[in-house]
Amino acid sequence: MRAQRESTTKTVVVVGGGNAGLVAAIAAAEDHCNVRLFEAAPSAERGGNSSFTLGGVRVAFEDPESIFQLLSHVSESEAEMIRRRPYPAASYLADLLTLSQGEADEALCSLLVRWSLPVVKWMKGHGINWGLYMSGFAPEPLWIGSPGNLYAEGGGKGLVAALERRTKSLGVSIEFDHSLEEILLDDTGSVRGITIMQGAEQKRISCDMLVLACGGFEANEQLRRRHLGPAWASMKVRGTRFNTGKGIEAALRIGAQRHGQWDNGHAVPIAFDAPEFGSLALGTTTRRCLFQFGISVDRDGRRFMDEGQNRKTFMYSTTGVAVASQTDGFAYQIFDATFFAANFEKAYYLSGQHYKANTLRDLAASVGIPPDQFLREIEEYNAAIQAGGTFDPNILDGCATVGITPKRSNYATAICEPPFFAFKVVGGITFTYGGLKIDQQCRVLDGADQPIRGLFAAGEVTGGFFAHCYPSNSGLMRGAVTGYLAAKSASRDLKDLVVQS
């Protein structure tokens, strides 16, 4: 689409009011740019997927003291409990590349890793309070400072509220209920504006720099079906209903290049009765990620995945599609009484629909699984567990099975102590991996790998960072790093434009 320039005011427009967009707005506004932020959701549904998170970011650090100094409100007794273990940049990069089976873009992953600590420090300077994650897992209910996870005070909602406060104090107002439709170029191919819908009214907004931070396409069933396939199309959406891929599609229409793994995404098991889209009132409570404390079976009572293939944070994102791929798209997670040793997440489970019985046969009957097959499966599983292991969810504990398929590689304990529980689960998509191609300055590239002048991208809009699997808490970190860098590049280019005009 072509448009004539309408205004001489030099403006950075940011589209999307999640973590990436808010960080970009702050980073541009602190450089005295004139910033406007447009957000498709009404204010009651503000903050995108970022609002649904626990607020965790994965940061690389060599010296644990550099993390300790970022913490707010640590009492002396808590300080004593903190384990201090570095998470070097090389480990973070290796985790990203290994989990992606070598398909992630190494240069982009290096960018994420390199900027993680500086950006987290910068965010602290803008009012984000950081804390550490308490695993809450027996036998070590300790604060854990590795692998590099910090948590924003107040979780995702707290993070978004703090970023919004800062955005506002820098004079940027968020224009809710404004949904990007098209990106407008001038005759030289530079971005000159956008069209946006406010209700039924179409508006044309001029800008000199545009930062797309309007999420992936996980909330768009049609695009999920087209790019990821039928198992993904039938999934529930864990987060915002507004991430429908409009920003990505608008950029593709003006010649942007796709990047990353378009036929895969992040998905986990969630409650069968969870709403179709995420609800801010429920937050993350619908997730069912304690699969390592029990076994997962299909509607016929058969196991279908290695529930202990890796540490939870290194495998959970692949389990949603495993569930969605079963007949009828659902499964059951089965636990015995030892489930009560699990961490805070068990409260999520017990707050939702579940089945409880004193015998496995009764459990199967109440759930509707063929009891004989179910009992045989559990008997075989229990018998296949190698003797001598000690269950420890904090490490790869080596408690494994032998001679059954699928194998259980870690965290295998017998399902034998009543009462027994069953939780019905479906796949819940978190976000998509495919997006736009960006360079080291977060400029969007065209098909010839040339930057589209004036166009930048941040957060879930971008592709290339993740593929196949995902190290937990890298999503907010990717959004913050790319939001920051996109804004700094836009601000620099804006200054060049002012000098030229």
Ligand X SMILES: Cc1cc2nc3c(=O)[nH]c(=O)nc-3n(C[C@H](O)[C@H](O)[C@H](O)COP(=O)(O)OP(=O)(O)OC[C@H]3O[C@@H](n4cnc5c(N)ncnc54)[C@H](O)[C@@H]3O)c2cc1C
Residue 193, interface with ligand X (CB under 6 A)?
Answer: no
Query: Closer CB to ligand X, residue 434 or residue 475?
Result: 475
Among 131, 260, 294, 479, binds ligand X (CB under 6 A): 479
Per-residue mark of binding to ligand X, 399-438 (x: CB under 6 A): -------------------------------xx-------
CB of 460 to ligand X, least distance (A): 4
Q: Give the HSE-up count for residue 183: Cα atoms under 13 Å, Cβ half-sphere.
A: 30
CB of 330 to ligand X, least distance (A): 19
Query: Closer CB to ligand X, residue 128 or residue 369?
Result: 128
Given the rule CB under 6 A, which of 252-260, 303-311, 335-343, 469-477 is the region that contacts ligand X? 469-477
Q: How do beta strands 295-297 and 330-335 pair?
A: antiparallel
Residue 460, interface with ligand X (CB under 6 A)?
Answer: yes
Per-residue mark of binding to ligand X, 152-191 (x: CB under 6 A): ---------------------------xx-----------
Query: Closer CB to ligand X, residue 40 or residue 385?
Result: 40
Site for ligand X in 221-280 (CB under 6 A): 238-240, 242-243, 246-247, 278
Helix or strand holding residue 431 (H, E): strand 420-432
Task: In whole angstroms, give the CA distance from residue 43 to residue 452.
Answer: 31
Query: Closer CB to ligand X, residue 324 or residue 412?
Result: 324
Helix or strand holding residue 174 (H, E): strand 174-175
CB of 212 to ligand X, least distance (A): 9
Site for ligand X in 41-70 (CB under 6 A): 41, 48-50, 52-54, 56-57
Query: Closer CB to ligand X, residue 36 or residue 303?
Result: 36
Task: In whole angstroms, give the CA distance from residue 104 to residue 326.
Answer: 28
Query: Closer CB to ligand X, residue 408 or residue 437?
Result: 437
Among 163, 214, 323, 426, binds ligand X (CB under 6 A): 214
Task: In whole angstroms, give the CA distance from residue 37 to residue 52.
Answer: 20
Choose among 190, 185, 193: nearest CA to 450.
Answer: 190
Given the rule CB under 6 A, which of 33-41, 102-110, 136-144, 396-404 is the region that contacts ligand X? 33-41
DSSP string, 29-80: HTTT-EEEEE-SS-GGGTTGGGGGS--EEE--BS-HHHHHTTB-S--HHHHH
Task: In whole angstroms, give the CA distance from residue 109 to residue 92.
Answer: 9
Task: In whole angstroms, give the CA distance from residue 177 to residue 197.
Answer: 8
Query: Closer CB to ligand X, residue 290 or residue 378?
Result: 290
SS3 string of 293-345?
HCEEECCCCCECCCCCCCCHHHCHHHHHHHHHCCHHHEEEEEECHHHHHCCCH
Residue 471, interface with ligand X (CB under 6 A)?
Answer: no
* Apex 213 CA angle, 209 and 216, nearest 5: 140
Q: What 3-state DSSP class applies to 243?
A: coil
Site residues (vs ligand X, CB under 6 A): 15-21, 38-41, 48-50, 52-54, 56-57, 179-180, 213-215, 238-240, 242-243, 246-247, 278, 284, 430-431, 459-460, 473-477, 479
